Chains A and B, each alone.
Chain A
Amino acid sequence: MLTMRENFQSGNRERLWRKYCGFLDLSITEFMEMQEQLLMDHIDLVYNSPLANKFMPEKPTSVAEFRRLVPFTTYDDYAPLLGDKKESALAIKPYCWAHTSGRGGSTKWVPITRAAMEHMLNAAIGMSILASANRKGEINIRNGMKVLLNMPPAPYFSGILAPLMIDRLGAQAIPPLDKYANASFDERIQAGLRIAFRTGVDFVSSLTAVMIRIGERLSEGSPQMKFNRHMLHPRIMSRILIALIRSKREKRSLLPKDFWRLKGLVCYGMETGIYREQLIKYWGRTPFEVYVATEAGTIAMQSWNKKAMTPLPYSCFLEFISESEWLNNRKDNNHQPRTVLLDEVKPGECYEVVLTSFHGMPFFRYKLGDIVKVVALEDRESGIVLPQLVFQSRTSDIIDIAGFSRLDEKTIWQAIANTGVKYEDWCARKEYEEDKPIVHVYIELRQEIPVEDLEKAINKNLAEIDKNYSDLLNYLGLRGLKVSIIPTGSFQKYYEAKRKAGADLAHLKPPHMNPSDAIMMELINR
């Protein structure tokens, strides 16, 4: 087998495209055949393990039987074994254990098999190719390209995958992974930026929030840009000079895209869609979205047109719980929701994702807690004939108002972002005012604005984004939103306090949706 590096060297782009992005050409029949084959192979592989026996007392002989016999699971079902990294319970000794965030400050350990890691790596390379492509078959990544990584370090999955991917691509990581292996996330971001000024950047793989923050800092800071000794480096000087010329030519302030001409920008986080235009404005490149879960790898990713996401057939077996079934289950825990497969989903419908990992990984009919929306059954523009998905929300992050409107993190975030107000961070939770449910948004601003005006603006945006919320206002006359501005520095103080307390990276910030009373007390009192 030729390595990626060899393939690049031998120059067979068509082969590269087929290998890493060929899933986009699959028909739904081929997709389902692959899913079935991989699931049955996976069952054969893991059936005898104690963990599998816990959920599969009998060995299913077909997909239908599997769906009938195996119950839905959540991480709580695996926690007693995986939390303690009990490898004896697994079918295959894992290649590594990855760390992923859990709600309420808990952490989740996920064993990753070698085969799964290989698939995850391939998906990551496919992601890089597609992120940098503008049309089908185009491969713009090269050996030696410089990749700015603003991702959580190992043992987070992104931190484990990054060095492998960099090696496979023959790329150069910024900042160098070995040198900054023990640096904090902040230090790595700062160091990456510093190095990027000198070496340049071809490709960025980052949390969206970080890219937005860097963009804001650079654009806000450009008018007051002062020379310092670092700028004396000829490469930095030339870069700044070129950037200045570019910005002046377009008669605007400096933006990151003036410094670096990116080939690809991969962004992680549900706010990617919200800040899509801002990211394009700052970085000159349409952000590429992926739907990744540590428990299964890459579930779906965008194509070269960077619109909705196409599911991958070889990461996990996908089932979907329709919104109505999900709601019935939410009302009545005893209701066993019915699932549909990818060839049964309907456009415009939202579904909770249920996955069964492949390649010897341990998760069976695992409720990830994510809701996706099927926006179309195909992408005619790019000729993809598989259902197109967008990430909608997490099931736990939904605020239900009077059973009429369900607001998720993405909707509220979009409503806040659309106001154009500069803010530090926010969180929202369901509260009661005079026995009536409301969404209470706590927001820390970086500019002065009357709270009433802000509330009106967010309320208006919510009504525009969410029709049900609009109906709530128009027909029921309910006031569904309350906004409170919390003191400047609240989030930073919370962050500092958590960092000092040694909290995990994923739990340094308060959750956006439904933070507990304790978190709110901690956030506001500080």
Chain B
Amino acid sequence: MIGAYLITPLVLTFFSVLLMVVVLTANARSSTNRLFACFLIGLATWGVFIFAMRASPDLDHAYFWEQWFAPLGAINAVLLFHFTIRYTFREVRSWVLPLLYFVCLLILFLAPTGLALKSMQLKSYGYVPVLGPVWYFVIFFSYALTVMTMVVLVRSYRTAGDAEHRNRIAYIFIGIIFMLVGGVFDILPMMGLTLYPGLIVGNIAFCMLTTVAIVKHRLLDIRVIMRRSLAYFMTSAIISIPFLVIFLLATTALIELEFGIWTFLLLLLLLALVVPSIWRWAQERIDRWFYGGRYGFMKALEFFGSTHSFAESGRLASTMCDLLAGALRAQGVYLLLPESDTGDFKCIASAGGKKSASDISLNSRSALLRWLKHTDAVLPYGDIDMIPQLRSMSPSEREVLNGVSASLIMPMKTRTGRLPGVLILGPKLSGLPYYVEDQQLLVGLSNQVATHMDNLRLYEETRQSEKALRESEEKLRRMFESMTEGIIISDPQWVITEVNSPAIHMHGYSSKDELIGQSVFGLIAEKDRTRTTQSLKEAVQEGVRLIECALLKKDDTEFPAELSSAVLRDASGAITGYVLVTEDVTERKQMEISRKEYERRAHAASRLATVGEMAAGIAHEINNPLTGVVGFSQLLIKKDIPENIKKDVEIIYDGAQRVASIVARLLTFARQQKPERRHVNINDILRTTLDLRAYHMKAHNIDIATEFDPELPTTLADAGQLQQVFLNLILNAETEMKLAHGKGKLLVKTETENGIIRTSFTDDGPGIPEENMKRLFEPFFTTREVGQGTGLGLSICYGIVTEHGGKIYARSKLGEGATFNVELPIISINEAPGAVQPQPAESEKTASSRILVVDDEPMVQRYLVRILTDDGHTVDTVDNASDALTKLKSNDYRLIILDIKLPGMTGIELYNRIKKETPSLTEKIVVITGDVMGEDTQNFLSANKATYIVKPFDFEQLQKTLSRALG
């Protein structure tokens, strides 16, 4: 008992100092904490003084220490009161506290005077003071103050809105009751009753209860780590009890035994062996005490937090919610996870609660989520209004939280700061608040689960990636196989490792195994191997390059191909192989040749069309003056002029006729002249044409052979134009053979094939150089000397044949003669579009008439006037349509010679005007034109059946036409 008598004050001191350190460490700047620390210092001092008093060797020493108890007791009472009013924010008159401290000071001064403590006396358990009058006042003062403190606490308890705060107050209150009761046990012995002093025990109880309040109810906002330490301290304190017992035994009972020391050591050894078990037992007891009925759930949660695996992930969320609801006795637990597409947090699992989980969601823009991403702490619902960042929470967010009666909102954060989920807890079933331990549990668990959720997300993402990769691989495989190009993959040594089906077929193999293992270069034709190998190696160095080469099939046949290659590298950039893309271009090459041929033809046609337009324009311009030259030179020839001059004029006339002929051919070439198509027999036309040249051929030692198809069908064609074509080809062959070796052999052949009639002219002339082959049908292309040819012959042939829907081409090898083929379609349509033909005019002398000549060309005007006047006609001339109309209104003409091309109103427009105003006059109109082949002119003549004469015309032609018109 003596041991306990001495030790208990030291225990009090220890407890008090420990608590003081905790309180000041938590917040040394808080005046409330400081006040409480002061009170604890008072308690500690009290403990020290009591120990000193109790351990005193005599009454005098005991008296020395005991005399300070009165002021210490008063000061402690005042400090407790001061702390309480500060802690509860109760207000007291401003003079109250100074007065109380003043009283303490007074007592302190009175303490050494003997008014407080008369002397000390010895009792069975130790020293006991003999009280003086001031002591009674001190007792009254301290008790009164303590009662006041309790009143303040009761009032605060009643008004406290926070249940946790009420609990804290309750713990302090109960602690004070312990102190009061203990105090009674201290006072009564002083008054003569034989009781063991109990204030020390009461104070220890106060400290213990305060510790519980700190640990369980966050008294004075002591941090978690402090409270944990205190919890361990309590465990240690429990463990220390057997040690103390052994120590007491060793110092009292065992010391007198013979084997006392051995017994003591044995007991210590036994204790050391059982301490771990005792520790675990004590820890479990404390945990059970803290957690009560939730202990089982806590343990389950701890187990759950450390053992879940991916296989359990499906149940993870709901199991966690269930366990949490059980462990925390929550009305509802909701787990919200983000949706991958919207980022909105949706409830995926819940336990308890009234609201359907599917109704609970937080928008990704939510102010709450934004805030939770930046915090690791549990957010009590009541704190939402305390956080300025959450003042922008939308009513809908609040509605969600209110809907689940949210009490706690827990961000589930990973170590990297991600927020993979949010836990929302409804209120406790008991209505009590969530304690710090609950929140602590939540934080610990949610961090674990958050990490697991994050791992799950990563796992899921990896799975998705793998799936995507597989799909991608499959897609690539399909693409690889479905490509029309052959793809060959090789290793860095160009040994084939993979090929697709087109490549297998392209090279004439039946399976990829036949190709795998071969060298890529072995697939290249011998002739191209060196070049292609070099190109491939360069290509992989420089980038993709298209290489044309011949590749080999399995049977060693070659085929043209295009090859491109690319390098395959690994992540480090090292070459792991090559990809070759091969394409069989046989078909394309053929198509290319055809395409080039078509292009060439199109080019030629285009040039011909351009030249044709130009030729038509030139022809018109030339025809007008040519009419004068032909006409006047003819007139001169008919005159009686000297013979030498007449011969000169004849040369002029012949020359002019030759020009007229060239112009006519130009117009034909320009395809202005529509073919007059009838059913014709090509064989007949050929015979007629050959007959025309038969004499000349024979004269130049040229043999003609014919192989006419007797069954050759007729076709729709212009016989004259075809004759022109054939004649041209015969003449060309004749000339070439004559020039080459002064003789020759010409084979003319007709045959039918696939709906066409092919006529071929094969000579044994010098042949056509390859470079000339492409240009044969170009206008003005000639190999003859200047003056020997116009270069228009074959172009005209090309135009005529094309106009007939056929084609003309040549085949030749230099030195082996040439063959010209004319292919015409077989057309069985009987009707052919009509074409206007100049109607042959009969030459006869006509009676004198009045004639109007409308032509803007002075030379033509003069020529007409001359001839018509010579024939006895009266001739008026005008050079424009309006003058003509004037003349027509004022005179009666027998004949009107009208040029189609007039400045201003054209001849056609004038004709139409006359037709409209005086239709009968149109019968008297003879149209002259240098452009009879023009489309407009053709249409006009055809529509009006007008009599016309083509420039350049000579005297006879004119007279015939006029006779017919006037007749």
List A residues at the B interface (Cβ < 8 Å): 1-3, 6, 8-11, 15, 18-19, 22-23, 25-26, 30, 33-35, 37-38, 40-41, 44-45, 115, 119, 142, 144, 313-314
Taking a contact as CB atoms under 8 Å apart, the answer to whether B156 and A9 are in contact is yes
Taking a contact as CB atoms under 8 Å apart, the answer to whether B388 and A25 are in contact is yes
Question: Which residues of A have CB within 8 Å of B385?
Answer: 1, 19
* Known pairs A2-B382, A37-B394; A10 contacts B388 (CB<8 A): no
Q: How far is the CA of A33 from the CA of B162 in the complex (A)?
A: 32
The 6 lowest CB-CB distance pairs between A and B, nearest first, are A22-B388, A11-B89, A6-B161, A34-B392, A37-B392, A19-B386
Taking a contact as CB atoms under 8 Å apart, the answer to whether A23 and B392 are in contact is no
Taking a contact as CB atoms under 8 Å apart, the answer to whether A10 and B162 are in contact is yes
Q: Which residue in chain A gives the minimum CB-CB distance to B159?
A: A9
Taking a contact as CB atoms under 8 Å apart, the answer to whether B159 and A314 are in contact is no
Taking a contact as CB atoms under 8 Å apart, the answer to whether A22 and B386 are in contact is yes
**Interface membership of B707, Cβ < 8 A:** no
Residue in A1, A34, A142 whose beta carbon sits within 8 Å of that of B91 in the complex: A142
Taking a contact as CB atoms under 8 Å apart, the answer to whether B394 and A18 are in contact is no
Smallest CB separation, B374 vs chain A (Å)? 9
Residue in B160, B392, B394 whose beta carbon sits within 8 Å of that of A314 in the complex: B392
* Known pairs A6-B161, A9-B161, A34-B367; A18 contacts B87 (CB<8 A): no
**Interface membership of B395, Cβ < 8 A:** yes
Question: Which residues of B have CB within 8 Å of A314?
Answer: 391-392
Q: List 14 A-B contacts (CB under 8 A).
A: A1-B385, A6-B161, A9-B89, A9-B156, A9-B159, A10-B165, A15-B386, A18-B388, A19-B385, A33-B392, A37-B394, A41-B394, A115-B395, A144-B91
**Interface membership of B470, Cβ < 8 A:** no
Question: Which residues of B have CB within 8 Å of A18?
Answer: 386-388
Taking a contact as CB atoms under 8 Å apart, the answer to whether A38 and B392 are in contact is yes
Q: Which of B165, B383, B389 has the most CB of A within 10 A?
A: B389
Question: Which residues of B have CB within 8 Å of A26?
Answer: 388-389
Question: Which residues of A have CB within 8 Å of B165?
Answer: 10
Question: Which residues of B have CB within 8 Å of A22?
Answer: 386-388
Q: Which of A11, A22, A26, A33 has the most CB of B within 10 A?
A: A11
Question: Which residues of B have CB within 8 Å of A142?
Answer: 91
Question: Which residues of B have CB within 8 Å of A38?
Answer: 392
Question: Which residues of A have CB within 8 Å of B91?
Answer: 142, 144
Q: How far is the CA of A45 from the CA of B395 in the complex (A)?
A: 10
Helix, strand, loop or mixed for chain A's interface? helix
Q: Which residue in chain A gives the minimum CB-CB distance to B384?
A: A1
Known: A2-B162, A9-B161, A18-B386. 18 other contacts (CB 8 A): A2-B382, A9-B156, A10-B161, A11-B87, A11-B89, A15-B383, A18-B387, A19-B386, A22-B386, A25-B388, A26-B389, A30-B389, A34-B391, A38-B392, A119-B391, A142-B91, A144-B91, A314-B391
Smallest CB separation, B112 vs chain A (Å)? 39
Interface string of B365-386 (1 = CB under 8 A from A): 1010010000000000011011
Question: Which residues of A have CB within 8 Å of B383?
Answer: 15
Question: Which residues of A have CB within 8 Å of B391?
Answer: 23, 34, 119, 313-314
Q: How far is the CA of A475 from the CA of B165 in the complex (A)?
A: 71
Q: Which residue in chain A gives the minimum CB-CB distance to B165?
A: A10
Q: How far is the CA of A363 from the CA of B537 in the complex (A)?
A: 74
Q: How far is the CA of A44 from the CA of B367 in the complex (A)?
A: 16
Question: Which residues of A have CB within 8 Å of B318?
Answer: none
Question: Which residues of B have CB within 8 Å of A30?
Answer: 389
List B residues at the A interface (Cβ < 8 Å): 87-89, 91, 156, 159-162, 165, 365, 367, 370, 382-383, 385-389, 391-392, 394-395
Question: Which residues of A have CB within 8 Å of B367?
Answer: 33-34, 37
Smallest CB separation, B709 vs chain A (Å)? 83
Taking a contact as CB atoms under 8 Å apart, the answer to whether B382 and A1 are in contact is yes
Question: Which residues of A have CB within 8 Å of B156?
Answer: 9
Q: How far is the CA of A3 from the CA of B382 in the complex (A)?
A: 11
Smallest CB separation, B694 vs chain A (Å)? 94
Smallest CB separation, B152 vs chain A (Å)? 12
Q: Which residue in chain B gives the minimum CB-CB distance to A119?
A: B391
* Known pairs A8-B89, A34-B367, A37-B394; A2 contacts B388 (CB<8 A): no
Smallest CB separation, A143 vs chain B (Å)? 8
Question: Which residues of B have CB within 8 Å of A3?
Answer: 161
Q: How far is the CA of A6 from the CA of B156 in the complex (A)?
A: 10
Q: How far is the CA of A8 from the CA of B165 in the complex (A)?
A: 13
Question: Which residues of B have CB within 8 Å of A41?
Answer: 392, 394-395
Question: Which residues of A have CB within 8 Å of B370?
Answer: 33
Question: Which residues of A have CB within 8 Å of B161?
Answer: 2-3, 6, 9-10
Smallest CB separation, B28 vs chain A (Å)? 16
Question: Which residues of B have CB within 8 Å of A19?
Answer: 385-388
Q: How far is the CA of A14 from the CA of B88 in the complex (A)?
A: 15
Smallest CB separation, A495 vs chain B (Å)? 42
Q: How far is the CA of A115 from the CA of B389 in the complex (A)?
A: 17
Question: Which residues of A have CB within 8 Å of B389?
Answer: 26, 30, 34
Question: Which residues of B have CB within 8 Å of A23?
Answer: 388, 391
Smallest CB separation, B431 vs chain A (Å)? 17
Question: Which residues of A have CB within 8 Å of B87?
Answer: 11
Question: Which residues of B have CB within 8 Å of A25?
Answer: 388
Q: How far is the CA of A3 from the CA of B159 in the complex (A)?
A: 12
Smallest CB separation, B821 vs chain A (Å)? 75
Q: How far is the CA of A37 from the CA of B389 in the complex (A)?
A: 11
Q: How far is the CA of A34 from the CA of B390 in the complex (A)?
A: 8
Question: Which residues of B have CB within 8 Å of A44?
Answer: 394
Smallest CB separation, B901 vs chain A (Å)? 65
Q: How far is the CA of A314 from the CA of B365 in the complex (A)?
A: 17
Question: Which residues of A have CB within 8 Å of B365?
Answer: 37, 40
Smallest CB separation, B273 vs chain A (Å)? 50
Taking a contact as CB atoms under 8 Å apart, the answer to whether A313 and B159 are in contact is no
* Known pairs A10-B160, A11-B88, A37-B367; A313 contacts B387 (CB<8 A): no
Question: Which residues of B have CB within 8 Å of A1?
Answer: 382, 385
Smallest CB separation, B405 vs chain A (Å)? 13
Smallest CB separation, A129 vs chain B (Å)? 13
Smallest CB separation, B369 vs chain A (Å)? 11
Q: How far is the CA of A469 from the CA of B829 in the complex (A)?
A: 105
Q: How far is the CA of A33 from the CA of B87 in the complex (A)?
A: 37
Q: How far is the CA of A142 from the CA of B395 in the complex (A)?
A: 31
Q: How far is the CA of A45 from the CA of B386 in the complex (A)?
A: 24
Q: How far is the CA of A44 from the CA of B370 in the complex (A)?
A: 20
Smallest CB separation, B609 vs chain A (Å)? 59
Question: Which residues of A have CB within 8 Å of B88?
Answer: 9, 11
Smallest CB separation, B226 vs chain A (Å)? 18
Residue in A6, A8, A45, A313 whose beta carbon sits within 8 Å of that of B392 in the complex: A313
Q: How far is the CA of A354 from the CA of B156 in the complex (A)?
A: 47
Q: How far is the CA of A115 from the CA of B367 in the complex (A)?
A: 17
Smallest CB separation, A405 vs chain B (Å)? 41
Q: Which residue in chain A gives the minimum CB-CB distance to B91?
A: A142
Smallest CB separation, B33 vs chain A (Å)? 13
Q: Which of A1, A23, A142 has the most CB of B within 10 A?
A: A1
Question: Which residues of A have CB within 8 Å of B162?
Answer: 2, 6, 10
Q: How far is the CA of A41 from the CA of B161 in the complex (A)?
A: 32
Question: Which residues of A have CB within 8 Å of B89?
Answer: 8-11
Q: How far is the CA of A22 from the CA of B387 in the complex (A)?
A: 7
Q: How far is the CA of A275 from the CA of B89 in the complex (A)?
A: 36
Q: Which of A8, A15, A144 has the most CB of B within 10 A?
A: A15
Q: How far is the CA of A35 from the CA of B365 in the complex (A)?
A: 13
Q: How far is the CA of A10 from the CA of B365 in the complex (A)?
A: 34
Q: Which of B89, B159, B370, B388 has the most CB of A within 10 A?
A: B388
Q: How far is the CA of A6 from the CA of B386 in the complex (A)?
A: 14
Smallest CB separation, B402 vs chain A (Å)? 11
Smallest CB separation, A61 vs chain B (Å)? 12
Q: How far is the CA of A38 from the CA of B367 in the complex (A)?
A: 9
Q: Which residue in chain B gives the minimum CB-CB distance to A15?
A: B386
Question: Which residues of B have CB within 8 Å of A9?
Answer: 88-89, 156, 159-161
Question: Which residues of A have CB within 8 Å of B395?
Answer: 41, 45, 115
Q: How far is the CA of A8 from the CA of B90 in the complex (A)?
A: 10
Question: Which residues of A have CB within 8 Å of B394?
Answer: 37, 41, 44
